[in-house]
A and B are shown apart, each in its own frame.
Chain A
Amino acid sequence: MEQTRTYDRLPTPRGTKMQREEGPKACRKSLGPGAEGSSRQQIAGDSRTEPTKRRLQRYVDAVVRWARRKSPWILHYNSGGCNGCDIEILATLTPRYDVERLGILKEGSPRHADILLCTGPVTLQSRDRLRRIYEQMPEPKWVVSVGTCSCSGGVFKGAINVVGSVDQVVPVDMYIPGCPCRPEAIIDGLAQLLRSIE
């Protein structure tokens, strides 16, 4: 029992992401403190080209951030809920709410998706699958937990076959409570998540 609990509290992949960001891809994201230092060193050697390069980098960053905000592709996974929130998510995707206005598209493959919409509490069975789906998604990625069960475990909290909320398995960026939450709430949550991107 002790062992399962430690497994549930594994260091979240967000930590690994921070390590990965130090690689060559980090330059595409915002300039971290490390990049700042290295560029300052280079200014001493070549003072003319470096500011141009940094300005260019800033523009590229701004364009990429804009693109990420405007084109969130979602993946939907039910980790053991009652299907209520899933029906609401599908209702969100119908023409009535027209989330394609925000650029939101539903993708089937984790490799294409940016945002993972999780519903339901995480059961012991689906824990590894949820973790695997999260790992399959390419960076940068965000997780939204939809519904009370996936936010806190809800009425299933403490059940023998349930791990608990989604944030015990993967890092969650946005919580949308409700049982089930309305499509308007889901759209609002996604819009707030997009506004908060970098």
Chain B
Amino acid sequence: MNALIKMLIFPGFGFLFIAALAFDWIDRRMIARFHGRVGPPWYQPLADFIKLLAKEDVVAEGTHGLAAAALPIVSLTAVMTASLYIPVGGIVGASFEGDLIVVLFLLALPALAYFLAGWISAGVYSVLGGHRSLLQYFSCEVPFLMAVTCPAILAGSWSINEISNFQAQTAWSALTQPLGFILALIGLIGKLKRDPLDIPKAKSEVVAGPLTDFSGRKLALWHLTMNMQTVLGIFLLVNLFFGGSRFFNRVPALPVFGLKSVAILLMLSTASALYARLRIDQLMDLGWRILAPLALIQILATLWIGG
């Protein structure tokens, strides 16, 4: 019973759904403020979701129908499974030594599903977007993984909860490893295909990327997956780089966790409002020539200090 509540309500689906919609709204509103406009009302992500659910579900000719139906469900499942292992404000859904690796693997599955969504579609934009998404995945995932390893090395554990607790006793990893945090943030933007790095779904180049031919509830599930992935990526960064609540001992852990998450979300919104989109070759240069060597330096420094 307890496990069911954890899965369906608190760190699981219900909480994640609400958090996904709320974060989407905060993000859109924040970008609107950067543009000097008002932005959508608070119910906008919910209205979009319900409208897409109630829309006709077209499967274009030449598309693999079964795969098109399965892929959004698979990626949503992977994301929701990952949510069980990410502690929210000290409340742990499930935890074991090595769950960081499981979470990173589960968060990588949607990227594969996203590429396959482009691959099975008949449209040229979808295929092009799918290829771009793989290229982007290769250049962003490596620095992200390397940066995320650093707090784990310092804490001497592969469990997200223990890394978080370790920082409560010492200091935030973001303070001891600022370089690693910035790299992880850039890697996260690339993983989530958010605005400065939304190369696979660039509207002015490849329409909507792999999702061009999706409509109705499949599109709704894709959007939900993306929003949940954003939430989980932010939660992961909070746990790894701003873990514990050392500086706010008087305040309960959950609001502090929420504040930290929103702070990281605001960093992402700022980046997407301020920076223009990179070309795919520029991203490859950035990923392999700058981010990956910097991440290597960060790992070596961490080993030297902490190991």
Residues of A within 8 A of B (CB): 25, 28, 63-64, 66-68, 70-71, 95-96, 98, 100-101, 103, 107-109, 111-112, 114, 136, 138-140
Contact = CB atoms under 8 A, between A and B. Distances in A.
Contacts of B125: 109
B289 interface: no
B279 interface: no
A103 B44 contact: yes
Given A109-B208, A138-B56, A138-B58, A103 B47 contact: yes
Contact of B28 (A63, A95, A100): A100
Given A100-B40, A138-B55, A112 B32 contact: no
A103 B48 contact: yes
B39 A98 contact: yes
B55 A140 contact: yes
B255 interface: no
Given A101-B38, A111-B58, A71 B32 contact: no
A114 B39 CA distance: 20
A71 B47 contact: yes
Contacts of B219: 111-112
Nearest to B219: A112
B270 interface: no
B162 interface: no
A81 B58 CA distance: 30
Contacts of B49: 67
B37 A138 contact: no
B35 interface: yes
Given A98-B38, A103-B40, A108-B203, A71 B51 contact: yes
Q: A28, A67, A114 — which one has the most chain B CB atoms within 10 A of its CB? A: A67
Nearest to B49: A67
Contacts of B46: 67
Contacts of B203: 108
Contacts of B93: none
A99 B219 CA distance: 22
B51 A114 contact: yes
Q: How big is the B interface, by class?
A: 20 to 34
Nearest to B31: A100
B56 A68 contact: no
Contacts of A96: 37
B230 interface: no
Contact of A109 (B40, B48, B207, B216): B207
Specify the main secondary structure of chain B where it touches its partner.
loop
Contacts of B38: 98, 101
Interface in B27-43: 28, 32, 35-41, 43
A107 B213 CA distance: 12
Contact of B54 (A64, A70, A95): A64
B51 A64 contact: yes
A28 B54 CA distance: 8
A26 to B, nearest CB: 12
Nearest to A107: B208
B214 interface: yes
A91 to B, nearest CB: 14
A180 B40 CA distance: 27
Most chain B CB atoms below 10 A, which of A95, A96, A114: A95
Contact of A112 (B41, B60, B208): B208
Contacts of A28: 54
Contact of B214 (A68, A71, A111): A111
A182 B44 CA distance: 26
B215 interface: yes
Q: Of A28, A114, A138, which is in contact with the most chain B CB atoms at under 10 Å from its CB?
A: A138
A76 B58 CA distance: 20
B57 interface: yes
B9 interface: no
Given A64-B50, A68-B54, A100-B28, 17 more contacts: A67-B47, A70-B44, A71-B50, A71-B51, A95-B32, A95-B36, A100-B39, A100-B44, A101-B37, A101-B39, A103-B40, A103-B41, A103-B48, A109-B211, A111-B212, A112-B211, A138-B55
Nearest to B40: A100
Interface string B184-215: 00000000000000000001000110011111
22 contacts: A64-B54, A67-B47, A67-B49, A67-B51, A68-B54, A70-B47, A70-B51, A71-B48, A95-B32, A95-B35, A98-B32, A98-B38, A100-B39, A101-B37, A101-B41, A109-B125, A109-B208, A111-B212, A111-B214, A114-B55, A136-B58, A138-B57
